[in-house]
Amino acid sequence: MPLRLSVIGTGYLGATHAACMAELGFEVIGLDVDPAKIETLAAGRVPFYEPGLDEVLARNIEAGRLSFTTSWEEVGRFADVHFVCVGTPQTAGAQKADMSQVFGSVDALAPHLREGALVVGKSTVPVGTAAALEGILAKTAADGVEIAWNPEFLREGFAVQDTLHPDRLVVGVRSQRSEDLLREVYAPVIAEGVPFIVTDFPTAELVKVAANSFLATKISFINAMAEVCEAAGADVTQLAQAIGYDPRIGNRFLAAGLGFGGGCLPKDIRAFMARAGELGADEAVAFLREVDQINLRRRAHTVDLAREVLGGEFLDRRITVLGATFKPESDDVRDSPSLDVAVAMSNAGATVVVHDPKGLANAERVYPHMTYEPDLMKALAGAELVVLGTEWREYRELDPATLDGMADKHVIDARNALDPDRWRKAGWSYRALGRPTA
């Protein structure tokens, strides 16, 4: 009998994982505590924007391999391997991760698990979580139930590709049997030559936060260089290109601009600092405070630059912000640098209109008082200043010469995504982060 899988939590990670595991040929059941989400997914619709996911979802529901439920009992009865993909957001008012969904879902699942079932954590968690869950399962679940940790490295916007063709698979296990089960699940992926790294629990948990900390550090490093470039009159985009040719440095994840946001990097480095502190290792990751601060300074700097371009005053000035999501090809506005800048300028008295190809509905839920315009040309009409905060393709491809209807031609390219010469030649005053003023 082929293995049957469940996926607990159907957000960005879980919905993608469920659909992709079905795509590998397994029978999969997805569970969420939100009945509306389950209804949408069961109807073959993805409740968020993720390129390509809707086809994979619909195809596998159609083929009878993928179903959804809100019943723990049904999931427990159905599956041999259960992937826990629930959220671990930042705790309100603190740095550490809110673990209530992880512990809550394992508590709810435990009494329904079959003998010998394997629970596999995929959520990003503080080191030590797998061991704690193992203790809970030993008390509350059937005989032979085991836990493993298998961190997920997918990027929004590339979630399907990253799940089916990851750079590596990491599994933290306590037994050969758990390893064998996970090798069976990922057999088609391993057959492609994807490295399969077997570790203990704490190493697997730490791999994920270490990877995200490294990525965040790389972005803040180049943004720190942008600050120095601003002070010295140098160009950070050329600097990044030049250092990136050294393969030890590499040119990926070296784009200076408004910095990192989203539901992962900011909260993961904060949760890591909090956990390292609990373990008495706070000095080892003290540099992440600086990484966080450099990142947040870019947002403040962009607001200051906008004020400067407008002659020192925001009050009643009309600004268009291009981009509400934390990055292109996503509708996710969690900790979005661009939206943060838009809100800050609005709070300072400016009349701000926000445009985004996919993220306006989510933005409106978080900041209902802001003004949103889904039509790009209408959003630009009357603007005294345009701030590009998310580098969607349709902004990168704008022809500055054909844009009209603005009150003034000032642009701040907060993602270094536009061609300065082209915009300046078309009569715009162009400012960017980490680049000289012409």
Choice between 76 and 87, CB closer to ligand UDX? 87
Separation CA 217–CA 290 (nearest Å): 9
- Annotated catalytic residue within 20, 85, 229, 264: 264
Q: Does 153 bind ligand UDX (CB under 6 A)?
A: yes
Q: In Å, what is the CA distance from 75 to each residue of 29, 69, 102, 131, 293? A: 7, 8, 16, 23, 43
Residues 6+ apart with CB under 8 A from 321: 338, 339, 341, 342, 345, 352, 353, 354, 355, 387, 389
> Letter for the amino acid at 136?
I
- In the complex, the smallest distance separating the C-beta of residue 206 from ligand UDX, rounded to whole angstroms, is 14
Q: Does 257 bind ligand UDX (CB under 6 A)?
A: yes
Q: Which of 117, 236, 264, 309 binds ligand UDX (CB under 6 A)?
A: 264
Q: Pick the stretch among 150-158, 274-282, 406-414, 417-425 that binds ligand UDX (CB under 6 A).
A: 150-158
Q: Which of 196, 253, 296, 429 binds ligand UDX (CB under 6 A)?
A: 253
Q: Does 83 bind ligand UDX (CB under 6 A)?
A: no
Separation CA 152–CA 85 (nearest Å): 9
Q: Which of 76, 126, 259, 434 binds ligand UDX (CB under 6 A)?
A: 259
Choice between 260 and 367, CB closer to ligand UDX? 260
Q: Does 326 bind ligand UDX (CB under 6 A)?
A: yes
Which two structure tokens, joined as six digits, stand for 162?
Answer: 């990253």
Torsion angle of the four alpha carbons 19, 24, 29, 35, in this order, in degrees rounded to the nearest 10 = 0
- In the complex, the smallest distance separating the C-beta of residue 304 from ligand UDX, rounded to whole angstroms, is 19
- DSSP string for residues in 346-379: HHTT-EEEEE-SS-HHHHHHH-TTSEE-SSHHHH
User: For the window 204-223, what string marks contact with ligand UDX as x by the rule CB under 6 A?
Assistant: --------x--x---x----
> Is 56:23 a contact under the CB 8 Å cutoff?
yes
H-only helix segments in 69-175 = 72-78, 100-109, 129-140, 159-164
Separation CA 417–CA 172 (nearest Å): 40
Q: Pick the stretch among 128-136, 259-267, 313-321, 424-432 that binds ligand UDX (CB under 6 A).
A: 259-267
Q: Pick the stretch among 56-64, 247-255, 275-283, 402-410 that binds ligand UDX (CB under 6 A).
A: 247-255
Q: Pick the stretch among 141-149, 252-260, 363-371, 380-388 that binds ligand UDX (CB under 6 A).
A: 252-260
- DSSP string for residues in 170-224: EEE-SSHHHHHHHHHHTHHHHTTT--EEEE-HHHHHHHHHHHHHHHHHHHHHHHH
Q: Does 389 bind ligand UDX (CB under 6 A)?
A: no
> Is 254:244 a contact under the CB 8 Å cutoff?
yes
Q: Does 117 bind ligand UDX (CB under 6 A)?
A: no
Q: Which of 265, 341, 376, 379 binds ligand UDX (CB under 6 A)?
A: 265
* First-to-final CA distance of the chain: 68
Q: Does 123 bind ligand UDX (CB under 6 A)?
A: no
Q: Does 14 bind ligand UDX (CB under 6 A)?
A: no
Separation CA 94–CA 98 (nearest Å): 9
Choice between 305 and 403, CB closer to ligand UDX? 305
Q: Looking at the chain, how many residues does it have? A: 438
Main-chain dihedrals φ then ψ at residue 150, nearest 5 degrees: -135, 80
Q: Which of 30, 261, 323, 357 binds ligand UDX (CB under 6 A)?
A: 261
Choice between 158 and 351, CB closer to ligand UDX? 158
- In the complex, the smallest distance separating the C-beta of residue 336 from ligand UDX, rounded to whole angstroms, is 7
Q: Which of 122, 299, 327, 431 binds ligand UDX (CB under 6 A)?
A: 327
Q: Is 20 designated active site?
A: no
Q: In Å, what is the CA distance from 162 to each residue of 337, 338, 377? A: 24, 25, 35
Q: Does 126 bind ligand UDX (CB under 6 A)?
A: no
Q: Does 358 bind ligand UDX (CB under 6 A)?
A: no
Please give the size of the binding site for ligand UDX, defined by CB under 6 A: 20
Choice between 49 and 326, CB closer to ligand UDX? 326
Choice between 115 and 167, CB closer to ligand UDX? 167
Separation CA 391–CA 325 (nearest Å): 10
Q: Pick the stretch among 131-139, 242-250, 258-266, 399-407 that binds ligand UDX (CB under 6 A).
A: 258-266
- In the complex, the smallest distance separating the C-beta of residue 59 from ligand UDX, rounded to whole angstroms, is 24
Helix-then-strand count for the chain, H and E: 18, 14
Separation CA 339–CA 362 (nearest Å): 11
Active site positions, annotated: 264
Q: Binding residues for ligand UDX, per CB under 6 A? A: 152-156, 212, 215, 219, 253-255, 257, 259-262, 264-265, 326-327
